[in-house]
Structures are given as C-alpha cells and as structure tokens.
Structure 1
Amino acid sequence: MALLMDPGAAPLTESEKADMDAIAAIKESAAREFKEHGNKFVKMGRKHYADAVDCYTKAIAQMEPLPPGPVADASVLFANRAHVNLLLGNHRRALDDAGRAVRLSPSNVKAYYRAAKAALALSLLFEAASFCRQGLEQDPANEELKKLIVQVDTQQREQDRQRAKVAQAVSAAKDLAAAIEKRGLSLRKAEYQELTGLKKPKLDEQDVLHWPVLLLYPEVMSKNSPPLSWDDNHAYTRDTIELYYQAGVDTVLSKSEILKFLLEGTVDSKSLSESLLDGEDGEYDTGKSSTVTSSGKGSVKWIKVQEGKTLQETLQRNDFIIPAIPVFFVVSSKSTFYKEFKAGNWSLP
C-alpha cells in the first residue's frame, strides 16, 4: 500500500503510483480548501484572525514535506500567515513566515513587503531595508515598497543620530569621571535632589572641574526652630559662620554607577546600552576608605571646613564622600542653635 511506503521510496507498481498520485491530489485539495477558509476568516475581522492563522497552518501541513527549490503555492501560504501575524502584532512570527515565503519564491513581492514591515516593527532596520530593496528589484514600480523604504531610511537616520548623541554623552561622562578620579574624589548616592534637581559637576575645555555646591542651614531645618525671617538678630555674619560637612558610613559608587549618574537626564536610559559602560565596573581606587569611623552620636559626625581651604582641598579629604554634589551645612557661632549642633544633639530631619 502506498500509505505504508517509506518517505522517498519509489513506487514499485502502477497501482502504488496511482495511490501516491491520489494522496497528493487529496492533500492539494485540502490545502486549497484550508487556504480559502483562511482568506474568509481574514475578511471577517480581527476576532477571526486566530482562525485564519490556524487554517493557513493546516494548509502548510498538507504540503509538507516541501521539496527543495521554489514552491510558489507554499510561498503564498507563508506570506498569508505572515500578513495575519502582522495584523495581530506578532512581528517575530510574521518575519519568520515572510522570510520563508521569500526563500520559497524569490518573486513573491508581497512577501518582501511583509518581511520589511515586520523587520521595521522589530527595529531591525538593516533587514527591513534589505527586504525593501530586494522587493523593488522584483517590482521597481511598487508604491508600497517605495513608501516603506522611505520610512526605514528616515528611522535609520534618526537611530544613527540618537546613537551619535549617546556616544557623545558617554564620552563626555567618561572624561568627567576620569577628572573626578584624577583629583582623588569619591562619590556616593545623590541626596537632596528635590533641591538640586539633576545638577552635576562640569568639565570645561581647560580641564577645570566646576562643582555646584548646596548650602544648608541646620537651624532652619530643625523641627524645633521656627523658620528665620532672615537673620533678624544678625547672627549669620562673615565672622561668625562656620561650614561643616557630614561624615559617616557610606558606600562609594563604582565607576559604572558614577557614569550612570553623570548621564542621568542627558540621554534616554533605554538607549543606553550596557556595552557602552564595558570596562567601567569596580570601585574607584582613590585610596579612600568607604566608611568613616565616628566618635559622635550614631555613625554620623560633622566635620568643620578649615578656613582658607579650597573646595578641591576640602573634597579631597579622606572622610568626605560627596553625595553627587558637595553639601555643606552653615551654622553661626552666635546662634542659640550653635551649642545644640556642636554637642551632637542635632541630626538631619
């Protein structure tokens, strides 16, 4: 019996050959019928798209195993299933089907169009452009492909522009991070961003590092003290004010974390590939400890800034780990709050 023959075995008798021809005719008829049902389901709307995919799948199954070389009828089936998958938003499946349709029939222009559409939806712009050009080689006057390749080229230019912008931002951030490391400075997680926003240090063309600085007034921040109308008692004068910074237990940011901080707000985070930060992992080796031992209340202490010291000299102190941008606390030796602060009885609210 022909049904029991091994695949690829040549029929030995006329009867077996007739059986094989009959089976092929039945499968061809079934494939055609499934295809027609699939086309009807597509016309019936989105609720029936899954049924259409099922019909095209069954039609393809009737034609398998496919012989080597072009098979135009099978190409149409794969292209049709690709069309429905596009409508469903199954872009990867659509691309696979349309690509198979192209291989089965290099003259199938609709298959090129659907492959290009799916590739564009997946942001595979090189592949999308290639399918468009191959399709236009088959049909140079095809308006759909002409419009599509314009979209692909436009998106490619925008992608190239965005990549250049990201690369430029990353390069500038790496230069800035290197300048911070060169000066022996350490950074920790940003604080007070509700006050500072996304302000960051900047490096100018003369390799000068410019730091924004936040000055806070503990006396105003204290919950037990009313807001100052502004120093009616004239306690905050040049001769009486002192600057302090906070030292305590903090973790130094790694190089990649510093880069991410410096890039925040400059480029879309989605466009920032981790590969751009390759080789930047690990903590800065500035010789600073990541923790500061405190003899004050808890693990935090206040360090007075020495008069006459520059900002760079202050930031380079071993116990100053910068919270993204330098923060200094301003107190007055004439203020009633001064004793409370110096005694370590005040902490951040």
Structure 2
Amino acid sequence: MHIQKISDEVAERLKIEQSQPQSETSTSIPAATSIEESQDGSASAPLTTAMFPELSPGRAMTGKKTVDEVVAELKKSPFFMTELEENDETEALKALAYEGTPLENASEFKEQGNECFKAKRWADAKEFYTKGVLILAAEERKRKQAAENPASRVSSKEMSKEKGEETSDEKENKETSEEEIQKERATLESLYVNRAACHLELKNYRSCWLDASAALRLNPNNIKAYYRGARAFLAVGRIAEADDACARGLTLDPSNNPLKAVARDIVKKAEETGVQARREAERVAKQKRREMLIKAALKAREIRTRTTAQPPEMEDAGIKLVPDPDDPASHLAFPTVLLYPVHLESDFIKAFNETDSLADHLGYVFPLPWDREGVYTLAGVECYMETVTGGMIKLGKKVPLLKALAGGKVEVVDEVVRIFVLPKAQAATWIEDFKRKRAAEKGS
C-alpha cells in the first residue's frame, strides 16, 4: 500500500475516533451485571471495562492531539514520510541500517572511498566520502545542540533521577568517550579533505574549497586542506585567496613540495594576469581616447547627435574616424540607412564618409533587385533627411554628406544617418503625408 494512502487512512481513523462522544466510547462494550456461563457450563466472571488493556503508549500520546498534529508527527517517521528530503538528517538516519557505531560506519565509507579514489573513480569516491561526512557531521551537530541547550539537559537529568533511570548524558558517556569523539573528529576531518580532492579532480572548485575550509575548522594545521583549497582558488583565477591559503600552509611546513609548486604557479598566474590587466587597461584607455576624438570632431563640425533608450544592435558599426581612428585629422564616417518608404524597403551602408556624396553610393546600390517598375534610378529619385523640427530637407546627390549634417538642422540618432529615397513622381505626396503625421504626433 502506498505510504500516502496509509497516512490518510490513519488520519481518517483518528478523526472518526476523536469525533465520537466520550460516553459512546466508554459504553461500546457494556459491563456484565450477572454471571455468564461458558460453553462448558462453568461460570465466568463478569466482563468489566477494567479487564480490558489500556491504550497503547503511542495511542495515549495522540489522544489529545488534533488530526493535523497526529499526521504531522507520523510524517516525521521514515515509514510515513511522503516527501523525503536529501538532507543530513535523512542521510544520517539511513546510516542506522548499518551495524556498528557512527565511527565504524564512517570509517567503512572512508575505506570504500579510498579504494575508488585509487582507481580514479572520483565521482564514486566522492559519494562514499559524503556518506561518512553525513554520519559524523550529524554526531557533531548533536553534541553542539546539547552544549548550546544546557537547561534542557538539566531538566532531563532531574526527570531521569526522579524515575530512577539512567540519564542520557550517562548513557552517552558510556557510548561515546572523549577519546571516541576525538577519533570521530579526526575521521570527519580526513573525509572532508579526501572529498575536497575528489572535487578538485572533478573541477568542482567551489565545493573543493568549501570542504577544505570545513577540514580547517576541525584542524587549522591540515596541510592538505591548504593545498587543495589553494589549487581550487587558483583554478578560477582567485589569486589573492590562493596566495593566502598557500602562504598559511607554507608557514606550517616551509619544505612542503606540493605547496611550493602551488606558490610557483601562483606567481606565474599573477604575472600573466598582470600582463592581461595592463593590456586591458591600455585597450580601455585607447577606446576612451578615440571616443573623445570623435566627440571633438562632431563638435567642431557642429553635427548634432542623440541617443535613444533602446539603440539598435549594430555589432561593430558606429561613427568612426577614418582612415586612422587615433588621428584627429581623419574624416568622420557614419553608418547610414537608405530608406525606401514607398516600397517599405531599405539598404544599409556601414561607413558613409563625410566627404562622400549620395551619388557615390547610389551608383553601386542601383538597380534595386525588387524594383520591378525601374523607378529607382540616379536621375529618377529625390533624397531627403528629417530635420530637428520634424520637417524635411532635400539632399543634392552630388553634395558631400558633411554639408547636410553640419549646422545643426538635422541630427544623427543612435550614431546612424537616415536618408529617405523617393521616386520623383511620389515624393511630394509622401512628404505631405509625413509632415501631417508628425504634426499629429506633436499635437497629441
């Protein structure tokens, strides 16, 4: 039967029992008022409620609880758990299935992990070490909780003394001596360090240095923990942390060869990182200088620019100085979109030099592959740019782009120049419609 179904049936049964009146429960089996005869003719004593056994201890404990409280208690039991969480408590509970003390079980898992590690089965070794860690970590947690709540321990002792029972502390002292505790902690430390080695091989670097740190909390003098933590930090480029871990380890053992090797790798990595940092700084400085040169060039030419909240993605396209981006005397080049609004088409020119004219580019753009009527020719089109005020300015096809951009009548939006290309026969009508729409937008 499914565990959830068992829990539901138990809960329903308890609910029915608790809903019955007390009088009904007590008179469910009436007491006999006269002597009854058995089948063999002998007399039998009257049946009274006193002759029936009392409720079991478990049922007596739940007698005064609500159904929800009982179900909650049941679900704490592994048998009735409907949602097992893979946490320390559950894993430690599973370990009870093994015979022996926590130390014996953890040591067994450690040995199995070591065998897998020797065979380079890192993932399997990690799992065995984890089982051992969970067992001994649970023991550590119990001792910590007992130390942090002395009041509950005193109360427990007093109750046990009144009943003449052996206290839990006395039992624990018998079960786990101080020597045993130290052995448990030493084994837990070893399990953490060994699991850190598995994580290092599996490139789980964060888990590696966390296990190394856990081992160092148990023993600040663990050289292997410093070594593996340093290796993990170095692998992800956290040089400062790697250097600190390595230095602490070498302070304890200056002649340790693995730590010396890590120290050499840290120095090498630091030098490489320093070179990369210098190159990156130079690149950023050069980029900023180029941006300043472009701004100065735009200002000197009185070209207006504006950036919107969502500029288009243009990869490496943008306003640039050509042919030398570091020479203030170079010309400006603009990404340019040729718009054909009548036919809802467009062309993109990555670098339209300020000295170029429309004819220079339309000469190779025309004829257009989709122009079936053949209306887009150098002589058959007119070109316009939108002004800052929402109007239109006509561009001469042989006039340099700089002449259209200079003076502040038009603006370059998001570093892109927009030019409308219209067939002559439809230009006037389209421009009137465009102006009317712009006026309506401003009015609204």
TM-score, length basis structure 1: 0.55
For the pair 1:320 / 2:440, whether they are aligned, the reply is: no
| Residue equivalent to 1:142 | 256
How much has 1:43 moved relative to structure 2? 3.9
Question: 1:110: how far off?
Answer: 1.2
The CA distance in 2 between the partners of 1:39 and 1:175, in whole Å, is 59
* Cα separation, partners in 2 of 1:123 and 1:191, compared to 1, 3 Å: closer
Structure having greater relative contact order (Cα 8 Å, sep ≥ 6): 1
Partner residue in 2 for 1:40: 115
Q: 1: distance between equivalents of 2:107 and 2:261?
A: 33
Question: Deviation digits for residues 310-347 of structure 1, max 9, x if unmatched?
Answer: 72871563433255365768x9xxxxx9635855779x
Match of 1:216 among 352, 358, 361: 361
Residue 201 of structure 1: aligned partner = 320
Summarize the Cα distance change of 1:185–1:118 in structure 2 as closer, same or farther, 3 Å threshold. Answer: same
Greater CA drift, 147-156 or 87-96: 147-156
* Deviation readout 1:244-292 (Å, 9 max, x if unpaired): 56449xxxxxxxxxxxxxxxxxxxxxxxxxxxxxxxxxxxxxxxx6xx7
- Of Structure 1 and Structure 2, the greater strand share is in 2
Look at both structures and tell me which one has the larger radius of gyration over its CA atoms: 2
**Greater share of helix:** 2
Match of 2:338 in 1: none
Q: Which runs of 5+ in 2 are unaligned?
A: 1-99, 148-181, 334-350, 353-359, 432-444
**SS class of match (1:211):** strand
**One-letter amino acid matched to 2:250:** L
Equivalent position of 1:55 in the other structure: 132
Matched residue, 1:339? 424
Amino acid at match of 1:52: Y
Structure 1 distance, partners of 2:235, 2:403, is 51
Amino acid of the residue matched to residue 211 of structure 1? L
Which of 194, 198, 217 is the equivalent residue of 1:84? 198
Alpha-carbon distance in structure 2 between the residues aligned to 1:149 and 1:170: 31
Distance across 2 between alignment mates of 1:28 and 1:192:
64
Work out the CA distance in 1 between the residues paired with 2:197 and 2:289. 49
Counterpart contact for 1:38–1:51, Cα < 8 Å:
yes
Match of 2:306 among 168, 179, 186: 186
1:46 offset after TM fit, Å?
3.9
Aligned CA distance change for structure 1 residues 310 and 37 (closer, same or farther; 3 Å): closer
In structure 2, the residue matched to 1:311 is 402
The equivalent of 1:113 in structure 2 is 227
Query: Which stretch of structure 1 is more off in the superposition, 72-81 or 301-310?
Result: 301-310
Whether the 8 Å CA contact 1:31–1:60 is kept in 2: the answer is: no
The 10-residue stretch of structure 1 (209-218 or 86-95) with the greater mean CA deviation from structure 2: 209-218
The total of aligned residue pairs comes to 253
State the alpha-carbon separation in 1 of the partners of residues 199 and 268 from structure 2.
25
Corresponding position of 1:264:
none
> Structure 1: where are the runs of 5+ without partners?
1-24, 228-234, 249-288, 295-300, 332-336
2:285 corresponds to:
171
Deviations 1:135-183 (A, max 9, x none): 2333334333333333333333333333333333333434444555562
Cα distance in 1 between the residues matched to 2:138 and 2:228: 21
- Which residue is equivalent to 1:334? none
1:93 aligns with 2:207: yes
Cα distance in 2 between the residues matched to 1:179 and 1:341: 41
Tell me how far apart the structure 2 counterparts of residues 241 and 156 of structure 1 sit (CA, whole Å). 65
- Distance in 1, matches of 2:283 and 2:403, equals 25
Cα 1:305/1:141, change in 2 over 3 Å: farther
Contact 2:215 2:225 in 1 (8 A): yes
Rounded to whole Å, the distance in 2 between the matches of 1:312 and 1:168 is 36
The SS at the match of 1:185 is strand
Task: Tell me if structure 1 keeps the 8 A contact 2:107–2:132.
Answer: no
1:123 counterpart SS class: coil
TM-aligned CA deviation for residue 47 of structure 1: 4.9
**3-state SS of 1:321 partner:** strand
CA distance in 2, matches of 1:166, 1:39: 45
Amino acid at match of 1:40: E
Percent pairwise identity: 23
